Chain A
Amino acid sequence: MSDSSFKRLKKFQIKNLRKEIIKCCLIYRDVPEFDKINSNKFSQNVFETESSGALLKQMIDAIERAEDIICVSTFLINERSLTDAMLNATSRGVRVYILTSELNIESESEDDDEISQKNREEHLKLLDEIAGKILVRTANHFHSKFLIIDPNTYDNSIGFLLTANLKNKALFGNGEIGIILRGAAVYELYEQFCYGFWKESEHELLEPGRLRDVIRKSHIQLPELFTISYTTNETTKLKQEIISLITNSIGELIISSFGFEEDYEITNLILNEIRNDRRVIILAPNRPKIMNTLKRFREEGAEVLIREYHHAKAILVKTNEYKEGLIFTANLTSEGLENGFESGIKVYKEDTLELEKILLNWYQNFPLILKVNVNVGDILGKILFFENYNLIEKEIKPTIIKNLGEIQAESIYDMESTEPLNFPELDSDEICHEIRYEWTVIPPILPKDAKKIKNDSELPFFEWKRQKFILITNKSELKTAEELAPKNKAKIVVDYKKIL
């Protein structure tokens, strides 16, 4: 019998969770704060948006130089400096036309989760303000994003194909790509604009607050375009261009998109490329809606880098010998590539280098990386869990201590072996490499209501519920108690206060 039989005994047990598997999560990378990084500040035609609003300034400068017409396509518009510039242009005699979405509450769009109620209200309010001065036509599938100036002139024509909507957050933040267009590309976008205006518009706003039905010019055909790829109700040339770019190339594949769709042709094509040992990098936002698809990409071996609000749509294929790219407005979904009104342009030479620079910069600096089937023991710190179609932030800690309190031993001989009946699991928001369960074993003590009974021995006897107890108050009494206990069918208990 050891001394511990008479004392509180502290005990612990470690449960190792390092080999537990996390099926899908986003892990923070050790990279600089993303908003302070910019890869390209308008040195070339291809650029990314950034906080100074340099892209917006370029567009406003172009609008201020417009002499004939301005054509705008955007899913959403609420950037007042742009519309103010357009209204100024109208006072010079320039005509401005806008194709945009009605943003109906009922409509379901790929971009729904980026359209806040505030954005929607600002969009509709702004359209009412410009109605009549600018001719606005709408359709819920108008998703392409471009601005073209004087397409019918030789000297003054210029265009901007953007992945960003003309909304302030998009134009001032990172994560969008734009390309400046000139010459034939501008004219081809103008062709697509005219086609959308006459044949795919649903309503028009000629006066505030009243969207009237449009009588479509059904006979109008969009001619074959050579520079611009597009999606309309009648064609899926943009999708064909994407498929062609992916399948007719080798080397690394960098794909950036706001939207992906499970079990869609493009998704399956990308998965095939990954399975064929092609290095594929996916750049995407942290949207629960697309996480299953991203998970599949990663499971097959793609590197998936994530950033909040990432919205750019582009593909780059590269080997050491050549590079080829495509910048476009559509998400990689059936809504964008089968049924939308979208535009895209292939980039070559210097423009491809610029695109590569942007995409690689994002690859290196996106703050989150998607991991699948990863051991808990390989991660420490905050991560985003993908569970039940939600992304939930949790922190992986080295150890979580679970204090299980005091446990009374059955007898003074069981002090060492006494353990809690249950070792509780972690709470749902807890995750760690190991759990340390801690508890304290206390020796058996006299029940509170036990009554002293007469006996002939030198030690006091008690009884409670037909059980006899021999109370000892110091270690020297133990030997006598051990002799008396079997004879009297009594349990040895300790005076707890005295032990303490």
Chain B
Amino acid sequence: MKINLQRKIDIEIFKAIIDLGRNTARDDIISILMLSKENESHITAEAICNELLGGRPLSMGNLLIQRCMNLELFDEKFNLTELGNSSIESQQVFLPERGLYRIICTQDPLLPEKLLDIEPLAVDTLKSDIQSEKNNRNDKENQEKGKIEFLPDWILELEGKIVNLIGSSKDQIKVNKIEKKGEYQIEENMEQLKAQLVLEDNGAANFSVSDLFTEKLKPPSISFDEVWKNLLGSKASDWDESITPNKLRFRFEELTEKELNTFLKNIKFSNPSIPNYDNFEETLVKDIPIGPKSQEDANKWAKHHLLHAIESYSFHKTYIQLVKKIKLKLPEFNLNLPSEEELTLDLRNNFLKKQERMPAYYWFIQAPLDLNPGGRLVE
């Protein structure tokens, strides 16, 4: 059983000037970091020159240490920083860059990062925009294109954070600084971004986005049970976890023929909602294990199965075997199934009152009762 939740992600686009570090494979720097790791996370120019530079002058070693310190890989005491350690793990270092970027962001709680993608722009793009802004404050065209304003706090709060971009580059970046002023962009005809969260009752979870970007992401930390009970709402009290597999209990009359036969039900949730994760599109949860709500429902259900199991003429011995087989289908109940005589009488009362033709299973039980001289005939 799985729950498939989907929705469109609202995205916002800005132009902003950002100082950032882009995680890049740099074997030379990683070698220095690893050397320091071997030296109790401490680095010296001597060590670099001796171990890595083949005895070249110490100034060379100091220059490299300074470069690493600029990259915040060593502190002022030449010890490996936390960033330095993680760079060893990822074998990559954040190389600084600064520029004007088109940034795609979202505040959707489903997504782990608010910043989804960045795209470098020519520096004069913003400058010309600023000039245009000054010259044509009332120009409608420019207003639609965007206007210079203070970026919202939730964008500025990205400063200092390491972000895994899900856009085309898939880079990991470290946002060092964002200029407070930027430009809000309205882009029509932009492709949508869709999110899909699939939770399975065995604990598996899959979260992905598609369309604008396609990426498999770390699922939000929410369990199947939590979501399922949330979806069920007041019906959650009928979710029986005391039995394996868990079952959603129903009254006999609430179920269709197919549901009664398969012990499975599909339920459509038209407006699914999860606390802290907002609303999703209508979803259909398929193959939900179901069971009877009460002993009375269980008896009706078992009788229903019994009737469907009668597929040919059955004398007493066969009937008893059928009853036993049906009882195994609902082991949690002490089922009370009718005798052949009780069953056929009940069917007669039901069908003949409505002047309907008797179903085949009626005759399959009734004829062996009626046409058995002295009870002599058996299977």
> Which residues of A does B touch, CB under 8 Å?
68-69, 71, 90-91, 93, 95, 97, 131-133, 135, 187, 190-191, 193-194, 197-198, 206-208, 215, 217, 220, 223
Contact = CB atoms under 8 A, between A and B. Distances in A.
B373 interface: yes
B371 A197 contact: yes
B370 A132 contact: no
B363 A206 contact: yes
B373 A133 contact: no
Contacts of B366: 95
A198 B357 contact: no
A198 B377 contact: yes
B174 to A, nearest CB: 76
A72 to B, nearest CB: 13
Given A198-B377, A206-B363, A97 B358 contact: no
Interface in B329-379: 345, 348, 352, 355-360, 363, 366-367, 370-373, 376-377
Given A191-B373, A193-B371, A198-B377, A91 B358 contact: no
B168 to A, nearest CB: 64
18 contacts: A69-B371, A90-B352, A91-B355, A93-B348, A95-B366, A95-B370, A97-B371, A133-B358, A135-B367, A191-B373, A193-B371, A194-B377, A206-B360, A206-B363, A215-B313, A217-B313, A220-B377, A223-B376
B261 interface: no
B312 interface: yes
Contacts of B312: 215
A216 to B, nearest CB: 11
A106 B321 CA distance: 42
B367 A97 contact: yes
A86 to B, nearest CB: 13
A97 B348 CA distance: 15
Contacts of A208: 357
Contact of B373 (A68, A131, A190): A190
A485 B363 CA distance: 109
A217 B371 CA distance: 13
Contact of A207 (B348, B352, B357, B376): B357
Contacts of A215: 312-313
A69 B348 CA distance: 14
Contacts of A187: 373
Interface residues of B, number: 20
B112 to A, nearest CB: 61
B372 A194 contact: yes
Given A95-B367, A197-B371, 19 more contacts: A68-B370, A71-B371, A93-B345, A93-B348, A93-B352, A95-B370, A97-B370, A131-B357, A132-B358, A135-B363, A135-B367, A187-B373, A194-B371, A198-B371, A198-B377, A206-B363, A217-B313, A217-B377, A220-B377
Nearest to A191: B373
Contacts of B355: 91
Contacts of A95: 366-367, 370
A69 B359 CA distance: 18
Given A97-B367, A215-B312, A132 B357 contact: yes
Nearest to A96: B370
Contacts of A190: 373
A131 B357 CA distance: 7
A189 B362 CA distance: 24
A231 to B, nearest CB: 19
Contacts of A69: 370-371
A207 B356 CA distance: 11
B31 to A, nearest CB: 84
Nearest to B378: A219
Interface of chain A: mostly helix, strand, loop or mixed: mixed
A485 B372 CA distance: 110
Nearest to A194: B371
A131 B358 CA distance: 9
Contacts of A223: 376
A207 B363 CA distance: 11
A273 B360 CA distance: 53
A378 to B, nearest CB: 58
B357 to A, nearest CB: 3
Nearest to B360: A206
A71 B360 CA distance: 18
Contacts of A71: 371
Contact of A194 (B348, B352, B373): B373
B367 A197 contact: yes
Contacts of A68: 370
A246 to B, nearest CB: 31
A71 B371 CA distance: 9
Contacts of B372: 194
A217 B377 CA distance: 9
A157 to B, nearest CB: 13
A184 to B, nearest CB: 12
A93 B372 CA distance: 18
A194 B345 CA distance: 21
Contacts of B376: 223
A68 B348 CA distance: 13
Contacts of A207: 357, 360
Contacts of B377: 194, 198, 217, 220
Contacts of B360: 206-207
B367 A91 contact: no
Nearest to A68: B370
Contacts of A197: 367, 371
A314 B168 CA distance: 101
Contacts of B313: 215, 217
The 8 closest A-B pairs by CB, nearest first: A132-B357, A194-B371, A206-B360, A69-B370, A135-B363, A191-B373, A95-B370, A197-B371
Nearest to B353: A91
B4 to A, nearest CB: 41
Nearest to A221: B376
A194 B377 CA distance: 10
A83 to B, nearest CB: 14
A133 B357 contact: yes
Nearest to B371: A194
A187 B360 CA distance: 27
Contacts of A220: 377
A68 B341 CA distance: 13
A209 to B, nearest CB: 12
A352 to B, nearest CB: 29
A25 B372 CA distance: 52
Nearest to A192: B373
Which of B348, B356, B371 has the most C-beta atoms of chain A within 10 angstroms of its own C-beta?
A: B371
Contact of A91 (B352, B359, B373): B352
B34 to A, nearest CB: 81
A217 B313 CA distance: 10
A208 B358 CA distance: 12
A100 to B, nearest CB: 16
A90 B351 CA distance: 11
Nearest to B315: A217
Contacts of B367: 95, 97, 135, 197
B75 to A, nearest CB: 89
Contacts of B356: 132
A162 B313 CA distance: 30
A68 B357 CA distance: 18
A187 to B, nearest CB: 7
Nearest to B361: A206
B45 to A, nearest CB: 97
Interface string B105-127: 00000000000000000000000
A198 B312 CA distance: 13
Contacts of A191: 373
A215 B355 CA distance: 28
B363 to A, nearest CB: 5
A84 B377 CA distance: 31
Contacts of B352: 90-91, 93
A174 B366 CA distance: 38
A133 B355 CA distance: 9
